Structure 1
Amino acid sequence: MVEAWPLDLPLDPLIAGYDEVIPSNIKEKQTSSGVPLRFRKYTRPPRFPLSITLPFTRAQVATFLTFYEVTLVDGINPFTFTHPRTGTAITCYFRAEQDLHFKPQPGAKEWHLPVQLEIEP
């Protein structure tokens, strides 16, 4: 079962930390003559990377850590999230081998968490 992103955690990432990549699934092969042949690299494309930075309050940090460590088993399991650009539900994973760094924001009583997600195609 895929868990849902908790409703009391932020859904809207900061614009400054947003980066979305749609990897190419096209490969070209030169021929001895004529136009190069084009074909798919994969029959099923890899997960799309999405980098976002989320703003958290102190209480939301505690909620997030419980969700990440307990519900998602230290970020191993997938979860559903609302795509920031399209507003549609997506299934994603936290990118493997990334450390989580909460960055306190001076005077804002807010912590920013940059994360890399992988969206299931």
Structure 2
Amino acid sequence: MEMRTTDVRKLRPEAWGFICPVHTPDGAPCGLLNHVTASCRIVTHYSDTRELPALLADLGMLSHKSIVFASDKEEYYPVLLDGRFLGYIPVKKAVSIERQLRCIKTVVEDTRVPCVAEVHLISFSYSAYVSLS
């Protein structure tokens, strides 16, 4: 039987400099988090997202005014950018729009979606843990 400890870990000198040496798992996956974080980039500036609302509108985002009287509001997901509400996207187009944003993000010459932007679709769920459904 494998036991997990909740004791505070000792930080050895070789662990300093990693992103999170305290949360590295014991046992078989030991060191996994350190290896995953080895290629991370630390962002020290705000990204220019001025072009993103227009791009989202081109991809199918609707304004609040356009669906305020719609009877099927559950057919739309809200769109947020840095905590600001921008509009709604139809549930049926959500996966496609997410994929397009991710593709645009990978094109270095295309500055409409910053390369460090977090693109995430949170699908509707009755589960208490949305990301695990």
TM-score, scaled to structure 1: 0.25
TM-score, scaled to structure 2: 0.24
The structure carrying a bigger strand percent of its residues is: 1
Larger radius of gyration: 2
Greater RCO (Cα-Cα under 8 Å, separation 6 or more): 1
The structure carrying a bigger helix percent of its residues is: 2
